[in-house]
Structure formats: structure tokens, C-alpha cells
Amino acid sequence: ASAYYHSQTRDRYPTAPLLCDPPPFLSFTMLRTPSLAKTLRSIPKHNLSVLLSQQRAFSTAPVTVAIAGATGAVGQELLELLDERKFPLKNLKLLASARSAGKQIPFKGENLTVEELTEDSFSDVDIAFFSAGGSQSKEFGPAAGKAGCLVIDNSSAFRMDPKCPLVVPEVNAEAIPDAEDSMIIANPNCSTIIMNTVVWPLHQKANCKRVVVSTYQAASGAGAQAMAELEQQAKDWVAGDPITQDIFGRQYIWNLFSHNSPIEETGYNEEEMKMVKETKKIFSAPDIAVTATCIRVPVLRAHCEAINVTLESPMHEDEALEILSKSPGVTVVDDRENNKFPEPLDASGKDDILVGRMRRDLSQPEGYGLEFFVAGDQIRKGAALNAVQIAEEVLENYPTLLKKL
């Protein structure tokens, strides 16, 4: 990679941005090697990703993959990522409800037929991505696991199950082998992934004792129909027609409202409690204090979060930005002079979580509190990309989980 940089890119791209996230096929275990990580981060991102996407190498043969929920927003994103990242596919099965069975979905120049999701769908499948909702995951996930298929589940069905690891690859890829018995790996909540990808590097350095987060969550978190309704509401408003309110039961455009998940006895909603509980599990830190307020905003597909951390060891804001600039899956956008910081439009369609507005928390002793703002694509890193990265980690470092190979 270093030789390629010197011979091909220095003259053509003298001002190209530096690498802030791992090339698609590189495992996060590999990136923990300091010398390799340093070399890779010295190479312009565009050139490196183009070069390495053509030289991807896994330690296993191509695998058969299924996507349960292939017709949804996350399912469609999974298809795009499998193609984009040159995932080693032997065969690809698209699964959905009986209502969607028979639909044709294009993939790599051909049309694939959607099959009905049943307990018998996984006899020839190595890895199954589930994004069909919690009830479908509970019904069919264990059956897939018993058939020797490794399940990577995007619902909340198994996240707190002690037999199922809850994984953000940049944080705890080493937990993946814990799926040996259940054959189910849980994908965390989208807001949790976006927060933890950024908080984890700071936690490693200074031990975060408390995290306070307020989220600004896009329509995509409620699915493709919610995204379509937000767009329809814009059309209704421009046309002067009654505002369509089928999904949330309220006007969404020009409005904000508390996250639409059920409210618990504590007054917190389910989304907020997911962030609290999941962070403790992912960090293996039962004592970390987390509190969240989750809000829906009229944005299509990227979540934003305002995060405040209390640290056990002091850290200057410049040191925090330096750490994050070298962290996989993170891009720093922090330009005070031009008032340029993370925005959902800029994060949409991007793999990295954008982080900025880094500043000292003036209400805490100097160095022991930081405030910052993040934006991340909810469909991509918040769901589909995280799942694909887990599968890549399995292929590269834990292939014995794939029992049919």
C-alpha cells in the first residue's frame, strides 16, 4: 500500500484527504496493529479504497448468503454493500414475507426472485442477514442457527441475550466467537452504533464514567414507508393538500417529536433504554452511566446526536480530536472558523460517522468533560454496514463459526 501511494498518488492527488476508516476488506483486528494502521492512514482514502477493493482476500471460500427482509430499506442497502465491498458470494438468497415472494430485485446485472421466508430457508445458507423485524427474527432466527447458519440480526430480539454477542466491529469484534452456541450475532440499535463508534476511542484513553446523549433521528429508523411518508408530506404541503399521516399519525415535516417507541414506567422510551443497556454490554462496562433523550426530526436517513461525556482521566479537546482522527469508522468535521460541523446531509450515504463541535464542558472540572456532535447514516453504519462488517470479521478471523464450510 505504501509503495502504491508513493508511485501513483502523490503527484496526482497532493491534497487528497487522509484515510480515516479501514478499507472494506481489512478487519478491525488487523487495524489494531499500530504500524499497519499508521501506514494505511497515510494514503488518500479514495485511491486506497479503489486499489484494495480489487484485491480483497478472505481466508474462506465464497459463501452462500441470505437476506431476510430483502425488500426493506436495510435489505436494499445490504444488497448494495455486498456488491460494493465485493463480498465473496457463492450464492445469494433473498427472503421476505409471503406477500413479497415472487418479486424481482436487480443485483449485479441480473434479477433475483424473492422467496418466502420459512424455517426451511437456511439448509444451504452460511450467513443470514436478518432485517425483517423482531417477530420474524424470533420465529426464524433460532431455526436458522440450528441449521448451522450464522445469523446476523438487525432487530432488538437478541441484543440482550447473554448467549448472543452484541457487536460493533470497531469496538468489540473479539466478542464474535461468543456466538458459537447460539449462532446468532446481534446488530445493535442504530443510535447505539453511531454513538459507540465515536465514544469508544475516548473511553479507551480516558475511561468514560458517564454519557449524556440527545438524538435527532431520521425517518429511515422507522423504515422505508416512513421515509416515503416524509417525502409525501413535503409534496402535500407544497400542493396545499391535507398532510398524509399514516405512519406516525402526525405531521412530520416542519416538526419534531419524541421518539415513537413505547414509554416505560421510568418515563424513558424503549429507544432511550436500548442505548443505555446496549452500551453497557458492548463496552463490557456495567458501571458506565448512560442517559438518553431520543427525538424524531424531519430528515430522511442520517441520525445526529449531541453527546456529553464525563471522564475519569483528563483529556483536552485537541487530544480528543487527534484520537478520533485516527479511529476507524470516524471522520472529524470540526471547522470553527467556517462554522462547519457534522450535518445529516453530509453523512448520508457515507460509511464513516462524522464528529465535530468538540469542546470542553464548562460545567465540569477542566479536562474531565467533553461535548461533541455526531452524524451518521442510519441505514448504512447504523444497520446494514455494521452487519456486513461483522460478516467480514467472521470470514477473516473467525471462519470456524461457519459450520458448513
pLDDT tens-digit readout, 254-298: 999 999 999 999 999 999 999 999 999 999 999 999 999 999 999
* Residue 37 confidence (pLDDT): 47
The dihedral formed by the CA atoms of 158, 198, 175 and 205, expressed in degrees to the nearest 10: -140
- From first CA to last CA, the distance across the chain in angstroms is 31
Q: What is the mean pLDDT of residues 179-199?
A: 98
Burial code (b: 16+ CB inside 10 Å, e: under 16) for 114-130 equals bbebeeebbeebbbbbb
**Looking at the predicted structure, is the pLDDT value of residue 21 above 90?**
no
Instruction: Work out the pLDDT band at 404, boundaries 50, 70, 90.
Output: confident
* Residue 148 confidence (pLDDT): 96
Distances (CA, A) of 53 to 47, 82, 83, 331, 392: 10, 12, 11, 20, 13
- The whole-angstrom separation of Cα 66 and Cα 122 is 8
Residues above pLDDT 90, as percent of the chain: 84
Distances (CA, A) of 268 to 25, 88, 188, 191, 265: 39, 42, 18, 15, 7
Of 387, 188, 176, 204, nearest in space to 303 by CA: 188
Average pLDDT, the chain: 89
Instruction: Work out the pLDDT band at 27, boundaries 50, 70, 90.
Output: low
Q: Is there a contact between 222 and 257 (Cβ–Cβ < 8 Å)?
A: no
Report helix, strand or coil for 73: helix
Distances (CA, A) of 256 to 155, 215, 238, 299: 25, 11, 19, 10
* Residue 2 confidence (pLDDT): 38
Quick one: which H or E segment has residue 345?
helix 344-347
Q: What is the mean pLDDT of residues 296-317?
A: 97
Q: Is the dihedral of CA 227, 229, 232, 233 positive or negative?
A: negative
- The whole-angstrom separation of Cα 45 and Cα 13 is 11
Catalytic residues: 190, 303
Instruction: Kindly state the DSSP code that residue 233 receives in the 8-state scheme.
Output: H
Per-residue cell: 109: 446485472
Provide the whole-model pTM. 0.86
Q: Is the dihedral of CA 109, 68, 186, 295 positive or negative?
A: positive
110 has which bridge partners?
107
Burial code (b: 16+ CB inside 10 Å, e: under 16) for 209-218 equals bebbbbbbbb
Per-residue cell: 258: 419524541
Distant-in-sequence contacts of 352-359, Cβ < 8 A, 24+ apart: 352/20, 352/21, 352/376, 352/381, 353/194, 353/197, 353/198, 353/329, 353/381, 355/198, 355/324, 355/330, 355/331, 356/332, 358/317, 358/320, 358/321, 358/324, 358/334, 359/317
* Residue 261 confidence (pLDDT): 94
**Looking at the predicted structure, is the pLDDT value of residue 3 above 50?**
no
- The whole-angstrom separation of Cα 129 and Cα 153 is 6
**Looking at the predicted structure, is the pLDDT value of residue 9 above 80?**
no
Instruction: Work out the pLDDT band at 23, boundaries 50, 70, 90.
Output: very low
* Residue 60 confidence (pLDDT): 74
- The whole-angstrom separation of Cα 381 and Cα 389 is 9
164 residue type, one letter: C
Q: What is the mean pLDDT of residues 185-200?
A: 98
Per-residue cell: 271: 429507544
- The whole-angstrom separation of Cα 76 and Cα 61 is 24
Report helix, strand or coil for 34: helix
